[in-house]
Structure formats: C-alpha cells, structure tokens
Chains A and B, each alone.
Chain A
Amino acid sequence: KQEVTQIPAALSVPEGENLVLNCSFTDSAIYNLQWFRQDPGKGLTSLLLIQSSQREQTSGRLNASLDKSSGRSTLYIAASQPGDSATYLCAVLNTGNQFYFGTGTSLTVIP
C-alpha cells in the first residue's frame, strides 16, 4: 500500500526566508502528485499539480518538483510571508486511481 510521508511535521521560519517542504512516497506507480494548503478549520486548497511525466511546476512564489523514481517531491516557497502560515499537504494519485495523503507540515512564518 502506498505510504506518503512529510517531514518535518512543523517548521518555523522568519519572514523573507526561502524554504523547502518535503514529501516522500513508497510506490512510484503514480499518475500525479498534488500539493495543498490548509488554513486552520478550513478545507484544502489545491496549490500545484505535477503529472508523473513532469519534473516541476511553478505558480508565483511556489515551485514544486517531482522525482518519481526516488519517490520524492519538494515544495519550494520563495521569500516567505506571514500569510504563508498554514499546513501544507501532499497527495499522490496512484495508478489504481486512489489518492493517498501525507499528514502535512505545519508552517509558521514569523514577522
């Protein structure tokens, strides 16, 4: 069964710093990987989706990379802001058409 891990569970950085969040998965038979943001008490908002054949995707200050063969993805956030404080989750869609989620990284950006 696919297992998705996100390390660290929590991260605290000063405003303006660049940072990297990590996501690893055990089974490389995936269609895509999706990064989400979740604010406290709210639903998940999709940030980026990387198809299995792609290496990276960018949206504004966010850049997500995928190395399918090693089972890793990173979410790079440039010039972090207090408004980036949230929990970030990754999810993979495997070739059995099921979604598997990590438990998330809680990010705090200190003004």
Chain B
Amino acid sequence: DVKVTQSSRYLVKRTGEKVFLECVQDMDHENMFWYRQDPGLGLRLIYFSYDVKMKEKGDIPEGYSVSREKKERFSLILESASTNQTSMYLCASSSGGQGDKNEKLFFGSGTQLSVL
C-alpha cells in the first residue's frame, strides 16, 4: 500500500516564523499536492507538482511556497506564518498517468498547524 508520511501531526508556531511542512511518499508517484482544510470550506488546493523541481499554483497559493528537490518529497513553506494560516494541512500523491482512469489520490495523516 502507498504510504504518504507527513512529518508532524501537530505544530504550534508564532506569527512571523518560517514554517516547513514535510511530506514523503514511498510509491514513486509523479504527482504531489498540498491542501488545507477548514471547517465549512472543505479542501482547498495550495500547490501541486507533476515532477521534480516543478510546481504549479493551486487555488490559494498566497503566503505559501513549495519545494520538490526529490521525487518522493514535497515541502510546503510558510514564509512568515500568520494566524489566518491556522488550519489542517493535508499532503497527497497520485501516480500521474495521463488519462489513467485508475488514478487514485493517497493522503497523509495531516498536520494541524496552530499559529499564535
């Protein structure tokens, strides 16, 4: 089974801090995604990547950046954390075959970030 591992389950940071959220997948997946999930708003896509060193903005990229130096690792960076970035952050990966009807999303267990 695919495993998507997020480095922290809970994180508490202060406003203005630089925050790194790490995500690693073990199935050689091409695609990796970062979402945030807030009550009443559902999942919102922050950034995604279809290949190493490649990144694309999602629906809400402001205040975030990403890094994908290796295929298995996709990092989300909050350059200067703010209280409105308090949220559940979810990493996901998929195999990436174009037009693959079996393409499935696999999620990590999430990181609950609190910015004080």
Contacts and interface: CB of A to CB of B under 8 A. Distances in A.
Interface in B100-116: 100-110, 112
Interface residues of B, number: 26
Contacts of B106: 46
Contact of B101 (A51, A89, A103): A51
A99 B105 contact: yes
A34 interface: yes
A89 B43 CA distance: 10
B102 A49 contact: yes
A43 B110 contact: yes
B5 to A, nearest CB: 10
A19 B95 CA distance: 32
Contacts of A41: 88, 110, 112
A11 B82 CA distance: 35
Contacts of A71: none
A59 interface: no
A43 B108 contact: yes
Given A34-B104, A34-B105, A43-B109, 17 more contacts: A31-B99, A31-B103, A32-B102, A36-B107, A43-B4, A43-B90, A43-B110, A44-B90, A44-B107, A46-B107, A53-B101, A97-B98, A99-B94, A99-B105, A101-B43, A102-B42, A103-B42
**Which 3 residue pairs spanning A and B have beta carbons closest together?**
A103-B42, A51-B101, A43-B107
25 contacts: A31-B103, A32-B103, A32-B104, A34-B104, A34-B105, A41-B110, A42-B109, A42-B110, A43-B6, A43-B110, A44-B90, A44-B92, A46-B104, A46-B106, A49-B102, A49-B104, A53-B101, A91-B105, A93-B103, A99-B45, A99-B94, A99-B105, A102-B42, A103-B42, A104-B42
